[in-house]
A and B are shown apart, each in its own frame.
Chain A
Amino acid sequence: MRRVLLTLAALAAGAGTLTAQDAGKASDAIRIGITYRPGTRPGLVVVPGPGLDSARAILARDLDFSDRFQMIEVGPDATAAARTATGPLNYGLYRTFGADHAVELVAAGAGVTVRLHDLAASRVRNQQTYALPSPGDAGFRMAVHRIADEVTRWASGADGYAASRILYLAGGRIYRIDMDGQDNAGVTAAGEPVFSPAWSPDGSRIAYTRLDRWSISVMDLASRAVTTVPGTENGQNITPAFSPDGRSVAYAHMDASGTNIYAADVAQRCCVQRLTVGRFADNLSPTYSPDGRRVAFVSTRAGPPQIYVMGVDGTDQELLASFDFGSTGPSNAPEWSPDGASVVFHREVSRSPQIFILDVASQRVKQLTSVGRNEDPTWAPDGRHVAFVSDRTGRRQIWIVDTETGRVRQLNTAGAARLPSWSRRLRGAGSNP
């Protein structure tokens, strides 16, 4: 983040000159559409203003975390100079800071009007008024996160991931936390040991393993009503995953003959279907492709656990991430990306798990991490960021990496955290309990 600290005097002296110089650039006159400079990200400034400070702070951080903008922080002295005498934004001034976009928040009744200014074209590119609960109200932060995703789409054309949450396990209990590390809250009851949380695609339900009964439970987040997935009443059942339409849950069922993947219809509570048949082999950790037609999973059919794929009905089972027998480490915890193009998983390198991404079309893998133990990856809804568990600071905590730039940040969970599961973009009141 670039910090621009200018005194009022400097602004008064310099602004006019620099604006004149900027206006003389030929490129400014022909720049249209999405601002793009090869190798650099467009500069974006959140305009300071009266009120709405906490909303602006959340918005600026969300836009920074999107990794799609060079965020420019304007010092407080610049606030006074942000507007010309007649009211509109001082486009020339912000251009001198290196900004391409300026985001302006203006209180509008019980809501907020959001404007995206195209500084090169000296015009408002997008404007929209949103309802905004008071800071401190339950829905306030998520409302700002949704605005951040809108601004990201306006300015970059790509979907953000600000309006999303991560489930994780700590002390045997499932918690959920906003992608910016705020609004941490317990989801399952304390003292009821659970495992392997997974989101439903619409964010209204979660599935998880109950370690006391070894069944798979589905909890409706709004009502907290819990049901048991058909077929998981007996034996040990682990690693649930929702189908993209939210109607089915696939899971692994363990018994003395091994571990196999089943799927059950949780909408009609019926129709348990066995998808793998491996005598004394393990098949687990199913993850649906976003089109709902394929399931990637872990299997020990060839010896060490590796990543395989099959049709959603269990047909056409084949290896997905190639490996060299005897030298490639065990591979586990696959998750199909929201765009369907990739599968992220972890693979042991020198007995330490590292995050890998498989390109499904080319079947090539690339290694994302190398320091410490890095495991159990999960995709952000933008298909670009990945959360995973890392012990790089000495204990297991959740980190988020931008798979394009490699920038990492730690998610601010309270204690040691495991088994993260990232929601899709959360919309509507039902996804905001």
Chain B
Amino acid sequence: MRAHALIALAAVATFAACGGKPEPEQPAPVSTTANADSAARAARARQDSIDAENRRRADEEARRRAAADSAAGRASQVMTDLKAMINFDYNEATIRGTDQSNLDRKAAIMQANPGLRIRVSGHADERGSDEYNLALGNRRAAAAQRYLQNKGIDASRIDVISYGEERPLDNAGTEEAYARNRRDEFDVTSGGSNLVAPQ
């Protein structure tokens, strides 16, 4: 992944150098006694060279766009992995086995981006006690923080906050909605630009 990113950067650098070049050279001046044919030839050659240069530039732009798109795609995937929520069982704050790979990806991203800091917010569904749900959300956020800490991430890079049941994702009041609402959310607090994908 990192090798691809470097190639993309090289392509961008090359294009930047081209962009600094002057306009294509004009054809050599012709004598005032030159015939019409030679004048037409010279004009055509000039136009051809301009067209060629324009084509070259368009191709380069397309290549740069493709490279940038792919870099953006990778950066966006990093951000998606970083922000992917995890969910909890009713009244529980234990990380589910199925959420461990999710958190492992976050740990790897944080390893690859030492300047990155995040905030974990814990949430509860609206069935438990209003005030207790704040404490429950806190434990859910702290559980994710501890998991990442155990993967070698400094706890100081991870803020925790609980919103209890105050910010539901889904107000449908169904079991599925409750399950969606029992969650940790992950947000970047700093160092989130130019994220490097983990190896």
Chain A residues engaging chain B, CB cutoff 8 angstroms: 195-196, 211, 214, 236, 238-239, 252, 254-259, 280, 282, 284-285, 298, 300, 304-305, 330, 332-333, 346, 351, 353, 375-376, 418-419
Do A256 and B155 form a contact, CB below 8 Å, given A333-B129, A353-B129? yes
With a cutoff of 8 Å between Cβ atoms, the chain A residues found around residue B142 in the complex are 256-258, 280
The 8 closest A-B pairs by CB, nearest first: A332-B129, A282-B135, A259-B135, A254-B138, A256-B142, A332-B132, A256-B160, A238-B134
Tell me the complex Cα distance, A214–B161, Å: 10
A254-B138, A282-B139, A330-B128 given; name 19 further pairs at CB < 8 Å.
A195-B131, A236-B138, A254-B162, A255-B138, A256-B145, A256-B160, A257-B142, A258-B142, A259-B138, A259-B139, A282-B135, A282-B136, A282-B138, A284-B131, A332-B129, A351-B127, A353-B129, A375-B129, A418-B130
A-B pairs under 8 A by CB, number = 72
A and B contact pairs by CB, cutoff 8 A, 14 listed: A236-B161, A236-B162, A254-B138, A255-B138, A256-B141, A257-B142, A258-B138, A258-B142, A282-B139, A285-B131, A300-B135, A304-B91, A376-B129, A376-B131
Residues of B within 8 A of A353 (CB): 129
Interchain CB contact under 8 A, A330 and B132: yes
Q: Which B residues lie within 8 Å of A195 (CB)? A: 131, 166
Return A396 CB to nearest CB of chain B, in Å.
Answer: 10
List, in ascending order, chain B residues with CB within 8 A of A305's CB: 129, 132
Residues A236 and B134 in contact, CB atoms below 8 Å apart: yes
Interface residues of B in 146-187 (CB under 8 A from A): 146, 155, 160-162, 166
Write the chain A residue with the least CB distance to B129. Answer: A332
CA distance A258 to B134 in the complex (A): 11
Complex-state Cα separation, A6 to B30, whole angstroms: 127
Cβ-defined contact, A252 with B91, below 8 A: no
Chain B residues close to A by CB (< 8 Å): 91, 127-132, 134-136, 138-139, 141-142, 145-146, 155, 160-162, 166
Shortest CB distance A168–B (Å): 12
Chain B min CB distance to A379 (Å): 17
Residues of B within 8 A of A254 (CB): 134-135, 138, 162
Query: CA–CA, A353 to B128, complex, Å?
Result: 8
Does B134 lie within 8 Å of A346, measured CB to CB?
Answer: no
A238 to chain B minimum Cβ distance, whole angstroms, is 5
From residue A167, how far is it (CB to closest CB) to chain B in Å? 14
Provide the bound-state CA to CA distance between A116 and B120, in Å.
63
- The answer on a CB contact under 8 Å between B128 and A239 is no
A239 adjacent to B155 (CB under 8 Å): no
Residues of B close to A236: CB separation below 8 A: 134, 138, 161-162
Q: Which A residue's beta carbon lies closest to that of B136?
A: A282
A376 with B139: CB separation less than 8 A: no
Inter-chain contacts of B139 with A (CB < 8 A): 258-259, 280, 282
State the CA gap A330–B129 with chains docked (Å).
9
Q: Please tell me if the beta carbons of A284 and B132 are within 8 angstroms of each other in the complex.
A: yes
Q: Once the chains are docked, how many angstroms separate the CA of A257 from the CA of B139? A: 8
Beta-carbon nearest neighbor of A254 in chain B: B138
Q: Which residues of A contact B146 (CB under 8 A)?
A: 256
Which one of B128, B138, B139, B155 has the greatest number of beta carbons of chain A within 10 Å? B138
In the bound complex, CA of A259 to CA of B135 (Å):
6
Q: Is the CB of A285 within 8 A of B132?
A: yes
Contact A330 B91, CB 8 Å, known A254-B138, A305-B132, A375-B129: yes
Measured CB to CB, the closest approach of chain A to B95, in angstroms, equals 13
Q: Which of B91, B145, B160, B162 has the largest count of A CB atoms less than 10 A from its CB?
A: B91
Q: Report B-chain residues with C-beta under 8 Å of the C-beta of A298.
A: 132
Q: How far is the CA of A386 from the CA of B191 in the complex (A)?
A: 52
Name the residue in A195, A256, A330 with the highest tally of chain B Cβ atoms < 10 Å from its Cβ. A256
Could you tell me the distance in whole angstroms from the C-beta of B90 to the nearest C-beta in chain A?
8
In the complex, chain A residues whose CB is within 8 Å of the CB of B132: 282, 284-285, 298, 305, 330, 332-333
Looking across the interface, which residue of chain B has its beta carbon closest to that of A347?
A: B129
**B65 CB to nearest A CB, Å:** 43
B139 to chain A, nearest CB (A): 7
Complex formed: what's the CA distance from A353 to B126 in Å? Answer: 12
- Residues in A with CB closer than 8 Å to B134 are 236, 238, 254, 284
